[in-house]
Amino acid sequence: MRLLQHWLLILLLSAACPTQAGEKEDRQKLQQIGKDILKLEESVKGDSKEQQRLARELKKTELDAARLNQAIHDLEAQLEKLNSELLQLQSQKSSLEKSRQAQQDLIAKQITAAYRLGNEESIKLLLNQEDPDKVSRALKYYDYFLKARAEKIEQYLQTMGELHRVESGIGERQAALTQRHVALSEQQQQLEENLRIRSEVLGRLDRQITSSKQALKQLHAEHKRLETVIRTLEESITKLVSPTNTEPFSRRKGKLPWPVKGTLSQYFGATRTADITWNGWLLKASEGTPVHAIHHGRIIFSDYLRGHGMLVIIDHGDGYMSLYAHNQVLLKVTGDWVQSGEAIARVGNSGGQRDHALYFEIRHNGRPTNPKTWLTRKG
């Protein structure tokens, strides 16, 4: 029986290893695809050399802003945690102070009582009794009294030790809070400067586009970049492992959650220009609002794409993809598996947008489909 269990264990381990190896290989492939896509986007024509230079400058400032926003978010989370720990320690200190005072009063009373009896308490107890049984009981009571007193003193010493530890912890948390506040202030100042530079770059980009014809040309270039990304990903992910351990995407029609709490400002199919329509939804939302995956799947792109900013694309299997653009910060990397409702990014205005909003698409075999038919009714 043991031999059979041993061989079963070996078989299970050998079956798991290729899966882990395949997972690692798929992640490496996806990361390489991402690098190839970023090279491809440079080959898409439609901008002047000056516009290309400014676009690269905008990308740098927005990537820096993403880094700073993430650093600020992390610092704020650390501050919240430290404040919570500090409040708990202060509450413990208050409770320990009360215990210490009560124990101190009790010990003081016992010491006073012992002092009144004198230094030979047990001898006095013997002399005051004539019955041997009473003498025996008196000595036992006396032993209990001494033991109880020793325990009270030990408890008092433990309380004092715990109080010292808590006070040290409070001092450490207060010092850490001060340090984090300084760091947060520095990061916020850097972000303000970064946003000022971004505003200047956007102004220069706007001045480069002096006609509706140039604006249309730029929009076509952005559209072509995204289609190039989608096509490249479709061709590349066919050999990767598809999501299989959850309900198929197609069965969730009309039941999928919204990716963000926001207001729908642009609809699928609405006219964008004379020959370009919206392939998805534009959802206005507050800066930093969490963006959630609408279904289980794998992140197949998580990077910056010109015109779309911080972009996430999730493969849901069976040819279905969801796309999330103009994010402030990306919370997942290429190759990660995500669950339905899991936070993958935060709302921003990257890609040169003025307002904070999420651009969202659902695609099947590369073709955009109306999110309205897939997502649950809002509210």
Half-sphere exposure of 316 toward its Cβ, with a 13 Å CA cutoff? 25
Q: What are phi and psi of 243, to 5 degrees?
A: -60, 125
For residues 334 and 318, give the distance between their C-alpha atoms in angstroms, rounded to a whole number.
19
Q: What is the mean pLDDT of the chain?
A: 78
Instruction: Give the global pTM.
Output: 0.70
Strands 290-292 and 337-338, by their bridges, are unpaired
- Confidence (pLDDT) at 52: 76
Residue 137 has pLDDT above 90, yes or no: no
Residue 100 has pLDDT above 50, yes or no: yes
Contacts with 124 (C-beta within 8 Å, 6 or more apart), sequence order: 117, 118
Residue 197 has pLDDT above 90, yes or no: no
CA 146 to chain centre: 57
**139 vs 167: which has the higher pLDDT:** 167
Contacts with 373 (C-beta within 8 Å, 6 or more apart), sequence order: 253, 254
Stretch 337-363: mean pLDDT: 94
pLDDT band of residue 12 (cuts 50, 70, 90) is very low
For residues 121 and 111, give the distance between their C-alpha atoms in angstroms, rounded to a whole number.
12
**209 vs 138: which has the higher pLDDT:** 209
pLDDT band of residue 96 (cuts 50, 70, 90) is confident
Residue 7 has pLDDT above 60, yes or no: no
Give me the helix-helix angle, 132-208 and 49-117, nearest 10°: 170
Hey, how many other C-beta atoms are within 10 angstroms of the C-beta on 252?
20
- Confidence (pLDDT) at 128: 56
Say what percent of the chain tops pLDDT 90: 26
Strands 343-347 and 309-317, by their bridges, are unpaired
Residue 21 has pLDDT above 50, yes or no: yes
Hey, how many other C-beta atoms are within 10 angstroms of the C-beta on 57?
16
Q: What are phi and psi of 310, to 5 degrees?
A: -75, 110
- Pick the range with the lowest mean pLDDT from 6-10, 105-109, 162-166, 238-242: 6-10
For residues 119 and 348, give the distance between their C-alpha atoms in angstroms, rounded to a whole number.
79
- Confidence (pLDDT) at 1: 46
Give me the helix-helix angle, 212-236 and 2-43, nearest 10°: 160
Hey, how many other C-beta atoms are within 10 angstroms of the C-beta on 8?
10
| Most confident of the following: 47-51, 143-147, 196-200, 218-222 | 196-200
**338 vs 152: which has the higher pLDDT:** 338
pLDDT band of residue 3 (cuts 50, 70, 90) is very low
